[in-house]
Amino acid sequence: MVEKNKLDEELLEMEEEDTQEGKYLTFAMGNEEYGIEIRNVTEIIGIQNVTELPDVPPYVKGVINLRGKVIPVVDVRLRFGLQERAYDERTCIVVVNLNKMSLGLIVDSVSEVQDIPATDIQPPPRVNQGEASVYIQGLGKVGNEVKILLDVHRLFFDEEMEQIAVSNN
């Protein structure tokens, strides 16, 4: 009986993964729309009191206490080299789970969850790429619009961020 229950759990996990295939949480940063795979998102919360950390890159705003769990947060605007702006009522923290670590992305505003099939995703153009272009996974065509799809792993996992994430989880 234990074997059957374990198999049922594994099948349920596979079905859940399939239902998340091609789904992206879209959010705004300035005038652009970005997306990350929904499978990485655990929740979306309003901006909270952030405790600053010493000796971290400027895009790492600090940590938050989310129900007793300390989570590092990154301002995506600053990570992309964009101009900082004041947080407002639409500013959100998108909490993601990567490699069993919770991390927060501060974004201007969350838009919606959109289906973007793999056939509507193209690789980013190979032009003079700036610092932020290394985080682009692809470009998703949605109607007449293009969503910039981010590789959330690359966004967080460089040497600096890995040290911060590991020390806080």
Q: Which residues of 103-118 are buried (b: 16+ CB within 10 A; e: fewer)?
A: bbbbbbebbeebebee
Which pLDDT tens digit goes with each residue over 26-74?
999 988 999 999 999 999 999 999 999 999 999 999 999 999 999 999 9
Task: For residue 28, list its beta bridge partners.
Answer: 33, 109
Predicted local confidence at residue 80, as pLDDT: 85
13 falls within a domain: no
- Residue 124 is predicted with a pLDDT of 83
Is residue 11 in a domain?
no
pTM of structure? 0.79
The reported pLDDT for the residue numbered 158 is 60
Q: Is the dihedral of CA 61, 65, 67, 70 positive or negative?
A: positive
C-beta separation of 56 from 160 below 8 A: yes
Q: What is the pLDDT of residue 155?
A: 80
Residue 7 lies in a domain: no
Q: What is the pLDDT of residue 5?
A: 53
Beta strands (DSSP E) in 14-76 are 23-29, 32-37, 41-46, 60-66, 69-75
- Residue 154: the pLDDT is 84
Which amino acid is it at 150? L
Q: Is residue 1 part of a domain?
A: no
Half-sphere exposure of 27 (CA within 13 A, CB side): 21
Domain count, the chain: 1
Distance CA 55, CA 163 (A): 12
- Supply the pLDDT for residue 153: 86
pLDDT at 73: 95
Per-residue pLDDT at 150: 93
Decide: 34 and 147 in contact? Cβ < 8 Å. yes
For residue 2, being part of any structural domain is answered with no
Confidence bin at 4 (pLDDT 50/70/90): very low
pLDDT digits (tens, 9 = 90+) for 151-167: 988 887 765 554 555 45
Question: Given this model, what pLDDT does residue 10 score?
Answer: 54
For residue 143, what is the domain's CATH number? 2.40.50.180
pLDDT tens per residue, range 82-138:
899 999 999 999 999 988 889 999 999 999 999 999 999 998 877 655 555 678 889
Kindly state whether residue 53 falls inside one of the protein's structural domains.
yes
More reliable by pLDDT, 52 or 4: 52
Residue ranges making up the domain that contains 50: 25-168
